[in-house]
Structure 1
Amino acid sequence: MSIAESMQRQAEEFRERYTAVRNQIGRVIVGHDEIVHGVLTCLFVGGHCLLEGVPGLGKTMLVRTLAETLSLDFNRIQFTPDLMPSDILGTDMIVEAPDGRRMFEFQRGPIFTQICLADEINRAT
């Protein structure tokens, strides 16, 4: 098989999988085909995306459905004026070791996930 044929086969496989993912998301998110296409494009090229809109458009549902469809871990961070960096990144906590001693252990924050939704970033200070 030549390189061109191999690339053609890979492109066809990607197209089929992309269509299957888009159709699965379309079962939950109706009428936002361009937005779904844009979010999927951002995901596949390794980028990020900014979804803006009035409440109730399904932005959170879209991201949650995307994560479920692709079997990816999902976390949501609700930005508020009092949000601290440790609320996002995590912090060291005192835990009791099996031998009874106390020690610090890093508890990871919600940013340590495959898909992270930063909700209402305009409220952060």
Structure 2
Amino acid sequence: MPKGVRDCDDDMGAVVQPEIRAGDILFFMDGAQTHGTHPWRNDHQRRSVLFKYASRTANRGGSRPYYEPETYWDEEIVSGMTPEERAVMFGPTSAPKTQEVYLAVEPDGTVRLDN
């Protein structure tokens, strides 16, 4: 990447500074582009929330095929979930169509388990 683009001294028209307001959401695809922020110059703090989603086939490192939801949340939190809701909470895996839990969405929008 050219230095001017990296430090924004000469961005060659390739850098975009989106104007967003409190409550706005900015979506971007991690890895598809370089991203960062300009220095913060306001008197108040900047706050952000980063939520990363990785599909089951986008596992970046070795791991067990999947982790039960209880690994991340205690039984009290997941005990009232339907099997479909629990399936959403499973961690990533890179072994498609094995014994892991999958979800299927019917044409009418109904979600069902698909093992």
Common topology (TM > 0.5): no
Higher share of residues assigned strand: 1
TM-score of the aligned structures, taking structure 1 as reference length: 0.25
Higher share of residues assigned helix: 1
TM-score of the aligned structures, taking structure 2 as reference length: 0.26
